[in-house]
C-alpha cells in the first residue's frame, strides 16, 4: 500500500510553492556576488519548504519507531538517508541554472537505488513504503530539464507499477499512485519552467538596467562636453576682449566682464539641467547665441534660415549642431567668416561653412562631433564634414522629413 492519497498532488503543490519562492531569489546573474548569496538563500528556503512537505512519510517513520517493520534500525537508517539525499537533490535541481552536474546525477542515482531498495523490502509492511517512488520521480524531474524529465517520469511510473504488482497492490491503488506521481511530476515541470523564465526575465531586466545606466552616462558626457565646451570658448573669447580693452576702455571691459559672469551662470544652470535630464535646446536661440559668439571672436557670421518651423526633435538636434559647429569654428578654424544655412529640400539640412584653415593634418580625436552624430542618429539624421581644398571646412547635419516629429 502506498503513502496516503494526499501524498501526491497536495504534497507536491505545497512543496512547489516553496520552491518557486526560492527560485525567485536565485535569479541573479551567474558569477556575481549577489548571485552566490541569492543561490544559498534560495537553497535554504527550498530545503525548509521541502522538509515541511515530507509529512506523508510520517507513517513510515512511525512504523520504524514502534517496530512494525522488520530490521527497524536498518529501515530507519535507510529512510533517513533517503530523505536527506532527496532534499539535497531537489533543492540543487531547482536552484541550478544549467545542466545537472555529475555529482548531482550520482546523488540522484543513489536516491533511486535507496528508494527502490526500501520500497521493495518494506512495500508489503506498514508505513506506505511504495510511496517513496513519488519522491524519486520528483527528485529526477526537478534535476533534469525537458525532454529528459519525461523519460525519467515514465521510468518512475514503470517502477511504481512493477513494485505495486510485486507486493500485490490492488489495481485501483496502483492507478491512484501512478496518477499522483504523474501529477507531481507535471507540476514540477511547470514550476521548473516558470522559474527558468523568472531567471531569464531577471537577467533581461538587469541587462536593460545596465544599458539604461550606460546610455545615461553617455548622454551626460555628451551634454557636458557640448555645454561646457561652448560656454568656456565664449568665456575665453570675452576674457581676451577684456584683456585688450581694460587699459583703454574700462566701460567696455566691464560690460564684457559682466557678460562673462552671465555666461558662467548660464553654464551652471545648463549643467544642472543636464543632470536632471530635462533640457531642450531652441534652434533660434542657439542661432542667435552662435552669431553673437562668432562676432565677438572677430568672425563675420551670415545666417540663412527658412520661415518654416522645425519639428521639435529636429529643432533640438540642430540647436546642438549649431552650438558645436560654432564652438569649433571659434576654437580651431582661424576663420574670418562663417555661413550658417538651414534649408529644406526633401529633408532638413543645416550647413555651417567657414573659410578657415580646415582640418589639421593630424587632428586629435574629440567627443564633440561624435556626440553630435549620436544626437542626430536619434532622430534618424546623419552628420558629414568636408575639408575644402581651397581652405575652409563644412559641417552638414541632415534629417529626413517625417522621420521624427
- The model's confidence at residue 6, banded by pLDDT at 50, 70 and 90, is very low
Q: What is the dihedral of CA 342, 344, 345, 347, to 10 degrees?
A: 100
pLDDT of residue 301: 92
- The model's confidence at residue 130, banded by pLDDT at 50, 70 and 90, is confident
Measured distance CA(349)–CA(369) in Å, rounded? 16
- The predicted-structure confidence for 314-342, as pLDDT tens digits, reads as follows 998 899 899 889 988 988 888 899 999 99
- The predicted-structure confidence for 379-401, as pLDDT tens digits, reads as follows 899 999 988 887 889 999 999 98
pLDDT of residue 5: 38
pLDDT of residue 19: 46
Measured distance CA(205)–CA(209) in Å, rounded? 6
CATH of the domain at 327: 3.30.565.10
Q: How far is CA 152 from the centre of its chain?
A: 35
Cβ(398)–Cβ(379) below 8 Å: no
Task: Return the C-alpha cell found at 274.
Answer: 543636464
In a domain, 75, yes or no: yes
- State which residues form the domain around 173: 5-210
Task: Return the C-alpha cell found at 129.
Answer: 513504503
The count of domains in the chain is: 2
The helix/strand count (H/E) of the chain reads as: 12, 5
- The model's confidence at residue 97, banded by pLDDT at 50, 70 and 90, is low
Q: How far is CA 346 from the centre of its chain?
A: 39
Measured over the CA atoms of residue 385, residue 389, residue 393 and residue 399, the dihedral's sign is negative
Task: Return the C-alpha cell found at 149.
Answer: 524529465
Q: Are residue 171 and residue 31 in the same domain, yes or no?
A: yes
- Compute the average pLDDT of residues 285-292: 87
Task: Return the C-alpha cell found at 132.
Answer: 517513496
- Kindly report whether the peptide bond that precedes residue 147 is cis, defined as omega within 30 degrees of 0: yes
Q: Are residue 320 and residue 176 in the same domain, yes or no?
A: no
- Compute the average pLDDT of residues 46-69: 77
Q: Which of 77, 55, 7, 84 is closest to 69 using CA atoms?
A: 77
Q: Are residue 180 and residue 60 in the same domain, yes or no?
A: yes
- The predicted-structure confidence for 213-250, as pLDDT tens digits, reads as follows 777 677 667 667 666 776 777 788 778 888 888 778 88
Measured distance CA(10)–CA(180) in Å, rounded? 9
Q: Are residue 169 and residue 58 in the same domain, yes or no?
A: yes
- Compute the average pLDDT of residues 23-31: 45
Measured distance CA(227)–CA(266) in Å, rounded? 10
Measured distance CA(332)–CA(37) in Å, rounded? 55
Task: Return the C-alpha cell found at 369.
Answer: 562631433
Q: Are residue 189 and residue 307 in the same domain, yes or no?
A: no
Q: Are residue 205 and residue 289 in the same domain, yes or no?
A: no
pLDDT of residue 70: 87
Count other Cβ atoms within 10 Å, centred on residue 204: 10
Say whether pLDDT at 3 is over 70. Answer: no
Identify the domain boundary among 181, 210, 239.
210
Measured distance CA(99)–CA(223) in Å, rounded? 47
- The model's confidence at residue 24, banded by pLDDT at 50, 70 and 90, is very low
Cβ(7)–Cβ(184) below 8 Å: no
Cβ(199)–Cβ(23) below 8 Å: yes
Q: Are residue 182 and residue 314 in the same domain, yes or no?
A: no
Amino acid at each position: 500500500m502506498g503513502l496516503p492519497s494526499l501524498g501526491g498532488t497536495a504534497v507536491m503543490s505545497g512543496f512547489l510553492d516553496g520552491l518557486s519562492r526560492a527560485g525567485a531569489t536565485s535569479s541573479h546573474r551567474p558569477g556575481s556576488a549577489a548571485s552566490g548569496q541569492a543561490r544559498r538563500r534560495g537553497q535554504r528556503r527550498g530545503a525548509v519548504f521541502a522538509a515541511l512537505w515530507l509529512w506523508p512519510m510520517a507513517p513510515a517513520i512511525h512504523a520504524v519507531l514502534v517496530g512494525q517493520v522488520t530490521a527497524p534500525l536498518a529501515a530507519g537508517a535507510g529512510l533517513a538517508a533517503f530523505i536527506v539525499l532527496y532534499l539535497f537533490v531537489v533543492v540543487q535541481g531547482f536552484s541550478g541554472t544549467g545542466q545537472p552536474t555529475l555529482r548531482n546525477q550520482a546523488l540522484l542515482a543513489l536516491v533511486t537505488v535507496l528508494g527502490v531498495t526500501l520500497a521493495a523490502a518494506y512495500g508489503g509492511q506498514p508505513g506506505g513504503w511504495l510511496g517513496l517512488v513519488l519522491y524519486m520521480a520528483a527528485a529526477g524531474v526537478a534535476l533534469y530539464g525537458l525532454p529528459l524529465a519525461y523519460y525519467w517520469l515514465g521510468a518512475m511510473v514503470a517502477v511504481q507499477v512493477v513494485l505495486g504488482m510485486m507486493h500485490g497492490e490492488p489495481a485501483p491503488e496502483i492507478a491512484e499512485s501512478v496518477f499522483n506521481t504523474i501529477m507531481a511530476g507535471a507540476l514540477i515541470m511547470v514550476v521548473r519552467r516558470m522559474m527558468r523564465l523568472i531567471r531569464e526575465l531577471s537577467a533581461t531586466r538587469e541587462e536593460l538596467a545596465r544599458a539604461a545606466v550606460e546610455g545615461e552616462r553617455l548622454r551626460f558626457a555628451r551634454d557636458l562636453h557640448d555645454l561646457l565646451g561652448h560656454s568656456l570658448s565664449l568665456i575665453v573669447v570675452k576674457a581676451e576682449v577684456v584683456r585688450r580693452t581694460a587699459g583703454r576702455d574700462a566701460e567696455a571691459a566691464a560690460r564684457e566682464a559682466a557678460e562673462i559672469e552671465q555666461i558662467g551662470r548660464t553654464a551652471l544652470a545648463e549643467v544642472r539641467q543636464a543632470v536632471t535630464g530635462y533640457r531642450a535646446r531652441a534652434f533660434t536661440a542657439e542661432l542667435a547665441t552662435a552669431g553673437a559668439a562668432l562676432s565677438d571672436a572677430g568672425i563675420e557670421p551670415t545666417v540663412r534660415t527658412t520661415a518654416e518651423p522645425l519639428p521639435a526633435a529636429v529643432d533640438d538636434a540642430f540647436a546642438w549642431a549649431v552650438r558645436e559647429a560654432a564652438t569649433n569654428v571659434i576654437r580651431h578654424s582661424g576663420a574670418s567668416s562663417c555661413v550658417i544655412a538651414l534649408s529644406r529640400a526633401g529633408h532638413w539640412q543645416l550647413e555651417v561653412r567657414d573659410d578657415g584653415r580646415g582640418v589639421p593634418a593630424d587632428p586629435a580625436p574629440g567627443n564633440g562631433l561624435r556626440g553630435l552624430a549620436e544626437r542626430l542618429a536619434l532622430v534618424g539624421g546623419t552628420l558629414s564634414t568636408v575639408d575644402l581644398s581651397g581652405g575652409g571646412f563644412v559641417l552638414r547635419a541632415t534629417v529626413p522629413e517625417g522621420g521624427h516629429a
